[in-house]
Amino acid sequence: MKTLVLSENAPDTARVAAQIIRSGGLVALPTETVYGLGADGLSEAAVDRIYEAKGRPKDNPMILHVTGMEQVEALCHHIPRCAYTLAEKFWPGPLTMILPAKDHIPKRTTGGLSTVAVRCPDSAITRQVIALSGVPIAAPSANLSGKPSTTTAQHVLHDHDGHIEAVIDGGACRVGVESTIVDLTQEPAILLRPGGITPAQLRSVLGSLTVDKAVTAELSADEVAKAPGMKYKHYAPQCQVVIVDGSREAAARYIHRHYQKGDRVLCFEEELPLYRDCDPLSYGLEADVQTLSAGLFAALRELDDPAVHMVYARCPVGDGVAYAVQNRLKKAAAFQIVNGEEQL
Ligand code: AMP
Ligand code: MG
């Protein structure tokens, strides 16, 4: 199959992409978070093709991408008032809400759950494709399952060229980490995955919010993840990643003591001079966490190389967008974290 590369600005792009979606095909779509691998979310056969292309476990449900709350009303019941307030404040944007699913949504889409995830993305071309296709678009991150997410059309082609009908090239993603997921079927609401909408922003609407354990720690084999995807290996390059916490100086001392040829250091741009001899790769500025979230997955994909033996990674502190970066890096590192201060 030849994969079409459609420009987001070409006049025909939305129409061509919507036609592919309507006929059961796959289109990779740009969003402000990451590129999604889109298909008709109401067609079991189309959604099956997403699972196949990604190698995604069948119990890991999809997010349905919609144009707004009118479309959510056709997909969900018992929608609480706060869902409307959240949508008013944060849509289009990087927020996914879990709500009770109506019966016509295929179990393939919901991973067999009675709830469904919905989000309205902040990409004009992608909203146009949703509107023209006339269906909610199921779109998980377009990476092969387990690998770092796709934040450019080139990442998508690297993973899927020749296996999907089209990708819309909308440039590099602005947020760079996947959407915040909040479960509104429980009281208080539960944060299942941190993202571009921060816990403080959610609390400003919801009052209280609890945080699912899978956000900050590895679940044991017998624990059930509330977001099924959270129990799987995620975002990881081929080699082991270790996060080195602590002050800049303590972390540098620890890394220099352990570094061996073939290892890489994933650090902040401000730290590059400290690691001149350690093959460093910067993923953004510590002083501007937005650059870290935008750059993280491209960096992890670059480190996904058999020549790399081990990655020492620096992780930002903080509870806003930094919280989402911490979550993704911890998962990429399978929660292997050392504190440079304690290892002196
Ligand atoms: P991805 O699209 O690859 O970013 O993954 C979507 C995430 O949403 C996965 O972690 C899923 O487990 C989660 N998700 C989707 N639907 C539901 C749902 N109904 N309840 C809880 N989590 C969900
Ligand atoms: Mg994903």
**pLDDT tens digit string along 248-258?**
999 999 999 99
Give the angle 181-187-191 at the CA atoms, nearest 5°.
Answer: 20
Question: What token pair was written down for 69?
Answer: 């709350």
Measure 60 CA to ligand 1 centroid, in angstroms: 6
CA distance 79 to 116: 12
Q: Of all atoms in ligand 1, which is nearest to the CA of residue 193?
A: 10
- Of 135, 184, 193, 226, the closest CA to residue 324 belongs to 193
Q: Supply the pLDDT for residue 343.
A: 65
Measure 109 CA to ligand 1 centroid, in angstroms: 10
Measure 62 CA to ligand 2 centroid, in angstroms: 9
Question: What token pair was written down for 266?
Answer: 């994933």
Q: Is the CB of 98 under 6 A from ligand 1?
A: yes
User: How does the average pLDDT of the chain come out, rounded?
Assistant: 96
Average pLDDT score over residue span 66-80: 98
Measure 178 CA to ligand 2 centroid, in angstroms: 7
In the predicted model, is pLDDT for residue 301 greater than 90?
yes
pLDDT band at 38 (very low <50, low <70, confident <90, very high): very high
Q: Is the CB of 121 under 6 A from ligand 1?
A: no
CA distance 177 to 331: 13
Ligand 1 pocket, mutate which of 33, 51, 60 (most atoms under 8 A from CB): 60
Measure 282 CA to ligand 2 centroid, in angstroms: 23
Q: Supply the pLDDT for residue 232.
A: 74
Lowest pLDDT segment from 106-115, 216-225, 270-279: 216-225
Q: Is the CB of 113 under 6 A from ligand 1?
A: yes
pTM confidence score: 0.96
Ligand 1 pocket, mutate which of 54, 63, 297 (most atoms under 8 A from CB): 63
DSSP 8-state code for residue 271? G
pLDDT band at 342 (very low <50, low <70, confident <90, very high): confident
Burial label for 277, CB within 10 Å (0-12, 13-18, 19+), is exposed
CA distance 283 to 273: 14
| 3/214: higher pLDDT | 3
Instruction: Report which protein residue has its CA nearest ligand 1's atom 1.
Output: 140
In the predicted model, is pLDDT for residue 60 greater than 80?
yes
Q: How many Cα atoms sit within 13 Å of 285 on the Cβ side?
A: 4
CA distance 232 to 225: 9
pLDDT by residue (tens digit) across 195-223? 999 999 999 999 999 999 999 888 887 78
Task: Say how many residues make up the chain.
Answer: 344
Q: What CA–CA distances, in Å, run from 294 to 175, 198, 322?
A: 5, 15, 11
DSSP 8-state code for residue 215? G
Q: Could you tell me which residues come within 8 angstroms of residue 343 by beta carbon, excluding any fewer than 6 positions away?
A: 250, 254
Instruction: Report which protein residue has its CA nearest ligand 1's atom 11.
Output: 229
Q: Supply the pLDDT for residue 229.
A: 75
Q: Of all atoms in ligand 1, which is nearest to the CA of residue 178?
A: 4
Segment holding 325, helix H or strand E: helix 321-332
Measure 149 CA to ligand 2 centroid, in angstroms: 6
Q: Supply the pLDDT for residue 80.
A: 98
Instruction: Report which protein residue has its CA nearest ligand 1's atom 20.
Output: 227
In the predicted model, is pLDDT for residue 344 greater than 60?
no
Q: Is the CB of 192 under 6 A from ligand 1?
A: yes
Q: Which long-range contacts (CB under 8 A, 24 or more apart) does 96-99 make?
A: 96/63, 96/179, 96/180, 96/181, 96/182, 96/193, 96/195, 97/72, 97/181, 97/182, 97/184, 98/181, 98/182, 98/183, 98/184, 98/185, 98/192, 99/72, 99/75, 99/184, 99/185
pLDDT by residue (tens digit) across 307-334? 999 999 999 999 999 999 999 999 999 9
Average pLDDT score over residue span 43-56: 97
Q: Is the CB of 115 under 6 A from ligand 1?
A: yes
Lowest pLDDT segment from 134-148, 220-234, 255-269: 220-234
Mind listing the domains of the chain with CATH numbers? 4-215 (3.90.870.10), 240-339 (3.40.50.11030)
Burial label for 302, CB within 10 Å (0-12, 13-18, 19+), is middle
